[in-house]
Structure 1
């Protein structure tokens, strides 16, 4: 769980979680503080273990295997006092949840909703309590398999329509597709009565044909506002966006660990910085691509002064 406070110099990150007073926990705190993250709302347990993950990267196949050990004891709502919660959300511009620790996350999410702070959810896979969080979400970024698994729709475009119909607070939903880029469906609220009704699958196919696959950097193609119909599900008025991913030469592709998280972090930055979707999606793909060129989940992440980001961050 995180909260973002936006200032003139950039974004201040506030992190809410719990760790144990062990070597891993102290390493987590040191690393976050070194990157300027506000860790004052992290609960440190005297006993237990901090979460950690062993990641095995295959240099030949460019695949990875993750062996995760969750932290213990898990954070519960009682670990976060009301005064701490209110302080953490003070002047926050957006709140992000990864779907874990759902009981505590719901407490934070409900308070954020009371304060009209937008919420972004990382929907990697169905988890306990995730449905309750999704009902409060303004933005959702999904893994490739989540939309169809959650809605039982037969295609991804139909699933995205279903998600916007089932989650009326949702402004947009984005599904990441790895090297194939991403698809985003944005709700439109000011459509004219003459707005065209189209089949969402056919509409997406026509949009895919407009992608510039030869471009050296990620690009984005957007549709006009349309009434997007999913057969047997319903119709939603919105815009479709298709974003490409960076084509990374095999010699430069080192490790994809954390690429999805890098993409989401960039989306959060873009929302806080009021980027248009046409700018946000290539920006996020650039950040994810940069991360893939180094070993580990965070070591390859670009900073604001990185020349690969200068066209986005002025």
Structure 2
């Protein structure tokens, strides 16, 4: 574990749940009756998974969420406590069908009721949760409570990382306060209506003036990151952002199975019809997990985000951060469920990053 992360507190606000994971030979057709080949009950939820990942990597997470005093709720708390995640605050659950044939998963989520509201979070609990925190993370759920937490974090100058998985109620208000954003593949274009992902990333930096970087995750195709530059030299070259991404893609090393990252220089990035920002574009590759080792992609994005939280706290360079997050996500995919395969900071696969 990096010395920069010793005793580092990270706070998350969002979803925790129970996942019921059934593995099947192939996804069922309508009216099919099939048998599962394996079954596992495990903690889930974006915030719960990401903070479990952060805890195993060496951070000290606290989570703000809500569960009921029922069997599922007690199991959620037990598992989080076992992984070192402390809590403030019908429980939500998800059926996950893992298709052995396509290596894909289908989720059927049942939200908890009633949902968490700001009145459920006392001022003393909020202040206790944020005390000493280095970063705060939101998964886009519980938006009313999340906004209260976010405003308090801004008052305390605690940076915010936002998970933009899909368009959600209240998400825009949270994005305006964020310092870092990690997006699912479809989000940037859905949110900006831009014609390409690179144009959408430029648009996001123009709309969200606080953002230092935005990352879009692309599954087995890796990720793209746009980092804002605050050193806008008069001689900085201007380049079309789509052409720049194309040139970086051509330089990717596709022959190595380990994650790699390449980047542009600081560039005046132009998105036609949108505008221009000064920034640096990065292309990260995913680890090439052999088919025989690829078990389940459930929670891979949460593992990526938990790794980004750690990397920010450890002051990793962007290149090291993206390779680290890809390595952790790949480790997760080698076991069923969102948490079983999450590595600890002592895992040999992370040795090169932790030294």
TM tier relative to shorter chain = over 0.9
The one of 86, 94, 104 aligned to 2:135: 94
* Residue 303 (structure 1) aligned with residue 344 (structure 2): yes
Q: Which residue of 2 aligns with 1:73?
A: 114
Distance 1:289 1:154 in 2: 30
Q: Which residue of 223, 230, 249 maps to 1:208?
A: 249
Partner of 1:105: 146
Structure 1 position 221, deviation (Å) = 0.3
Aligned to 2:226: 185
Which deviations, in whole Å up to 9, do the C-alpha atoms of 1:98-140 show, x marking residues without a partner?
A: 0011000000000000111000110000000000000000000
> CA-to-partner distance for each residue in 1:22-64, whole Å, 9 max, x for gaps?
111111111000011112x12xxxxxx1011010111111111
Whether 1:18 and 2:66 are equivalent positions in the alignment is yes
What is the TM-score of this pair, normalised by structure 1? 0.95
Match of 2:308 in 1: 267
In structure 2, how many angstroms separate the alpha carbons of the residues matched to 1:13 and 1:184?
25
Which residue of the partner structure matches residue 114 of structure 1?
Answer: 155
| CA drift at 1:260 | 0.5
Structure 1 segments (4+ residues) deviating >4 Å: none
Deviates more, 1:207-216 or 1:268-277: 207-216
After TM superposition, the structure 1 = structure 2 runs for residues 1-314 of structure 1, keeping only pairs within 5 Å, are 2=12, 10-39=58-87, 41-42=88-89, 49-314=90-355
Paired residue for 2:4?
Answer: none
What is the CA-CA distance between 1:10 and the residue it aligns to?
Answer: 3.4
Distance 2:232 2:352 in 1: 31
Superposed CA offset, 1:229-266 (max 9, x none): 00010000000000000111111110000000100110
8 A contact 2:257–2:289 mirrored in 1 = no
Unaligned runs of 5+ in 1: 43-48
What TM-score does the superposition give when structure 2 sets the normalisation length?
0.84
Aligned to 2:29: none
CA distance in 1, matches of 2:310, 2:71: 31
> How big is the shift at 1:152?
0.3
Distance between the aligned counterparts of 1:83 and 1:253, measured in 2? 44
**CA offset digits 1:4-25 (Å, max 9, x no partner):** 8x99x93100010010001111
Q: How many Å separate the matches in 2 of 1:166 and 1:306?
A: 40
> Shift of the alpha carbon at 1:191?
2.4
Report the Cα offset of residue 216 of structure 1.
Answer: 2.2
* Deviation by residue 1:275-294 (Cα, 9 ceiling, x = unmatched): 01010000000000000000
Question: By how many angstroms is 1:214 displaced?
Answer: 1.0
Query: Which shows bigger deviation, 144-153 or 208-217?
Result: 208-217
What stretches of structure 2 of length at least 5 have no aligned partner? Answer: 1-10, 14-50
Other structure's SS at 1:55 match: strand
Count of aligned pairs? 305
Instruction: Give the distance between the partners of 2:129 and 2:102, measured in 1 at CA.
Output: 42
